[in-house]
């Protein structure tokens, strides 16, 4: 009976250790994803405020450089494509609500500098 108990305790220890490692990896990934998103938003805000005279690809390059450096400092790896997607998403969030009032009760909503929709005000 003692051998069975020892085997069960050993098995339980392995299961708990494996489960803890799996949960730790999931939590780390979720935290890294949140950090990546936050860093991309911060980089976009920074570039929008500091590099007022730059446009398009030049701003994208500056935001990519800033975000890449900040993430590397935190020990978080990111692919070039993932970083571009995060930055473009942050830009869309940042500029998604640029609204220009119109005299006829309509407002133009612009996304990334392109007119896409007209809404009643």
> In this structure, which long-range contacts are made by residues 109-112, counting pairs with CB atoms below 8 Å and at least 24 apart in sequence?
none
Q: pLDDT of 87-108, one tens digit each?
A: 999 988 877 644 444 444 554 4
Alpha carbons 84 and 78: distance in angstroms, whole number: 10
In sequence order, the 6+-apart residues with CB closer than 8 A to the CB of 47 are: 54, 59, 62, 63, 66
Residue 32 tokens, joined = 């890294």
pLDDT digits (tens, 9 = 90+) for 34-61: 999 999 999 999 998 899 888 888 999 9
What is the residue extent of each domain of the chain?
2-95
Least confident of 20-24, 61-65, 77-81, 96-100: 96-100
The answer to whether 92 and 65 are in contact (CB under 8 A) is: no
Residues in the chain: 121
């Amino acid at each position: 009976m003692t051998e069975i108990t020892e085997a069960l305790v050993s098995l339980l220890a392995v299961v708990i250790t494996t489960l803890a490692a799996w949960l730790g990896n999931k939590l780390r990934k979720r935290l890294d994803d949140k950090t990546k998103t936050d860093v991309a938003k911060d980089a976009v805000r920074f570039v929008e405020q500091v590099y007022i005279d730059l446009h398009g690809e030049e701003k994208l390059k500056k935001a990519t450089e800033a975000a890449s450096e900040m993430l590397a400092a935190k020990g978080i790896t990111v692919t070039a494509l993932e970083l571009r997607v995060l930055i473009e998403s942050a830009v869309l969030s940042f500029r998604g609500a640029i609204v220009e009032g119109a005299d006829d009760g309509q407002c133009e909503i612009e996304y990334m500098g392109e007119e896409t929709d007209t809404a009643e005000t």
